[in-house]
């Protein structure tokens, strides 16, 4: 996983290592980690080598309940194979929020956790970036996930916009994009969101958002914008075809749309 977007801190607490725990006693809190992928667990079970399992990570809460923090799929694989116990690293005295933080710590260098999963767990952990994103999305009656009318699939783009430019720019970006093209999969594309956000972050203080949205729509629908941005980036050569280049091309298109018909003194350079 690339360098993490999130901050991880845990209080000092007691930890025991190499403890054999009863698999049937273990619980899952999906607010503190990702959801179970049964297909993946079955795949692990099919090729299970018990001696190579290692230790899972478990949090024992104040009420005695034990929750799997890391190793959920290995635990389910063992259950499917009929095993009774599994070796665990047990953490004591953590809150649900701290369990979520522990999950992020244990998976910070792992490619197995998707950005969406990390965002969801980050919310439970109280990560400031995730909380800010969630607040803005809720104000637009949106969530992160597969792109649809009420869901934005460009998870990385939304997090990057908020981290680089702040939640206010994300808020304005969503407002402008919706005003221009409505609420749909094409509108919530990461290249478009990134390009509009870049424009607002650089020139937003002097921009009327309603006017900007009208100018964007005059240039064409969202799908056309994305297609043109990709074409421009590709024409720049292999090294210019990445996400950053596509967003930069979209930004240039926003500048062009804003400047069209304006006098030289009122144009953005």
Q: How far apart are CA 196 and CA 33, in angstroms?
A: 32
Two tokens, residue 164: 């680089």
* CA-wise closest residue to 58 among 82, 94, 12: 94
- What is the predicted pLDDT for the residue at 242? 55
pLDDT over threshold 80, residue 68: yes
Please give the pLDDT value at position 60: 96
The alpha carbon dihedral of 217, 221, 198, 249 has a sign of negative
Using a 10 angstrom Cβ sphere, with 0-12 exposed, 13-18 middle and 19 or more buried, the burial of residue 67 is buried
Pick from 16, 27, 111: nearest CA to 76: 27
79: number of Cβ within 10 Å: 16
In this predicted structure, the answer to whether residue 2 has a pLDDT above a threshold of 50 is no
Cα 263 to chain centroid distance, Å, stands at 41
> Is the four-CA dihedral 44, 50, 56, 62 of positive or negative sign?
positive
Rounded Cα distance between 245 and 236, Å, is 9
Contacts of the segment 62-66: beta carbons below 8 A, 24+ positions apart:
62/93, 65/27, 66/21, 66/25, 66/26, 66/27, 66/90
Distance CA 117, CA 31 (A): 10
Cα(154)–Cα(177) distance, integer angstroms: 14
What mean pLDDT is predicted for residues 178-190? 94
**Radius of gyration (Cα) for the chain, nearest Å?**
23
List, for residues 74-88, the tens digit of each pLDDT value. Answer: 999 999 999 999 999
pLDDT tens digits for 231-254? 988 875 444 445 678 999 999 999
How many other C-beta atoms lie within 10 A of the C-beta of residue 154? 19
- By mean pLDDT, which of 102-106, 190-194, 221-225 is the weakest? 102-106
| Beta-bridge partner residues of 21 | 86
> What token pair was written down for 179?
């005003």
Average pLDDT, the chain: 89
């Amino acid at each position: 996983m690339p360098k993490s977007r999130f901050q991880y801190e845990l209080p000092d607490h007691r930890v025991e290592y190499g403890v054999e725990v009863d698999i049937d006693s273990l619980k899952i809190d999906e607010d503190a980690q990702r959801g179970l992928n049964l297909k993946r667990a079955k795949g692990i079970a099919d090729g299970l080598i018990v001696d190579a399992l290692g230790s899972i990570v478990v949090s024992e809460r104040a009420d005695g309940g034990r929750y799997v923090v890391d190793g959920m799929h290995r635990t389910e694989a063992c259950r499917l194979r009929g095993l009774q116990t599994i070796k665990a690293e047990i953490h004591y005295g953590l809150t649900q929020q701290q369990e979520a933080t522990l999950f992020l710590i244990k998976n910070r260098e792992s490619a197995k956790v998707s950005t969406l999963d990390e965002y969801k767990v980050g919310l439970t952990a109280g990560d400031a970036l995730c909380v800010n994103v969630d607040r803005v999305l809720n104000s637009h009656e949106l969530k992160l996930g597969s792109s649809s009318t009420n869901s934005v699939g460009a998870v990385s783009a939304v997090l990057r916009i908020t981290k680089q430019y702040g939640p206010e720019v994300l808020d304005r970006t969503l407002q402008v994009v919706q005003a221009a093209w409505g609420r749909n999969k094409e509108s919530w594309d990461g290249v478009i969101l990134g390009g509009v956000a870049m424009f607002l972050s650089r020139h937003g203080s002097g921009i009327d958002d309603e006017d900007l949205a009208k100018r964007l729509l005059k240039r064409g629908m969202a799908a056309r914008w994305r297609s043109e941005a990709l074409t421009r980036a590709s024409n720049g050569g292999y090294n210019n075809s990445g996400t950053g280049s596509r967003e930069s091309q979209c930004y240039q298109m926003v500048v062009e749309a804003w400047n069209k018909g304006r006098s030289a003194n009122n144009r953005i350079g």
